[in-house]
Structure 1
Amino acid sequence: MKYFLIYLFLEVMVSVNIASVIGAFSSFIEIIFSAIIGFVLLANMRMTLMQNMNALMQGEISLESFERLNLWALFGAFLLILPGFLSDIVGLLLQFSAFATLMASKFLHVNKQTPHFEHKRKHLKEEEIIDVEVIDDPHAK
């Protein structure tokens, strides 16, 4: 609740200052334009997801990065739909992977240890390995 009030205060301060500089009509146009961009990004999320999936399959990004990039891009699109200048600025910045990675590392406090499911997967792979020794018997031929 505390963070929401801080966000709301900052949103009002930024919006009032920018709206007083550019005017009411320009502010209205910006709100409509950013909402349209947000809806277009949500509609094209399938393409972004496919591009990130290809990068994941080629080993360019990790599974963790894949999840974060898609989550932040989706969150940025929703912020663009919301009215307000601060949410539009942050939503636009979240569409870029470098900023999204920075936000994820700063605010999610990602644990550097191996997650539980990764540990289980490694353990299962170790159990599937069959140790075999091949002995060539010259008398059998």
Structure 2
Amino acid sequence: MIYFLIYLFLEVILTIEIASRIGGLATFLEIVASAMIGIFILMNFRHTLSENLSALQMRQIDMQGFSNRNLMGLLGAILLILPGFLGDIIGILMQFSLFGSLIINRFSRKYHTPTQPKDDHVIDAEIIEHTPTLR
């Protein structure tokens, strides 16, 4: 919640500062252009998803890289659609996978898979049946 309030405060301050310098018409055109870019990215997301899926199948990326790329692309497109200069800057940077992975690694929880306790009382063996068909 605190991150959202900080983002909202910075968004308002930055938007007012930039809008007062470039004017109302340029601000309006920037908001419309960034929203159109965000909508274009969302409309073509299925192509991006299929490219990432094929990269995952070819083992060029791992599962975390696959989810990072797709999640950052979606969030970046949504931030481009929303009005505001800070959201547009972050949305453009999220389209690049390096910046997106930095954000994911910063805010994601680290989950470790639980390991099975080692049982020292089990003997690993292979059972071979003695049948005439094996000879």
Measured against the shorter chain, the TM-score band is 0.7 to 0.9
RMSD (Å), alpha carbons: 2.5
Q: 1:51 to 1:132 in 2, by over 3 A?
A: farther
Report the CA distance shift for 1:20/1:57 in structure 2 as closer, same or farther (over 3 A): same
1:65 aligned partner = 65
**Structure 2: gaps (5+ residues):** 117-125
With structure 2 as the length reference, what TM-score do the two structures score?
0.82
Residue of structure 1 equivalent to 2:53:
53
The structure with more helix, counted as a fraction of residues: 1
Determine the C-alpha separation between the residues in 1 that align with 2:17 and 2:46. Answer: 36
Question: Which residues in structure 2 correspond to 1:68-83 (within 5 Å)?
Answer: 68-83=68-83
Q: Identical aligned pairs, as a percentage?
A: 46
Q: Give the structure 1 partner of residue 87 of structure 2.
A: 87
How far is the alpha carbon of 1:4 from its aligned partner? 2.2
Question: Which residue does 1:26 correspond to in 2?
Answer: 26
Contact 2:68 2:97 (C-alpha < 8 Å) held by counterparts: no
TM superposition shift of 1:134: 8.6
Q: Which residue identity is paired with 1:82?
A: L
Q: Following superposition, which runs of at least 4 residues in structure 1 exceed 4 angstroms of deviation?
A: 131-135
2:41 corresponds in structure 1 to 41
Query: In 1, distance between residues paired with 2:40 and 2:108?
Result: 27
Query: C-alpha separation between the residues in 1 aligned to 2:127 and 2:55?
Result: 36
The whole-number CA distance in structure 2 between the counterparts of 1:49 and 1:22 is 37
1:14-60 C-alpha deviation (Å, 9 max, x unpaired): 11111122211111000000000000000000010011001100101
In structure 1, what residue type is equivalent to 2:70? N
Identify unmatched segments of 5+ residues in structure 1: 121-130
TM-score, with structure 1 as normaliser: 0.79
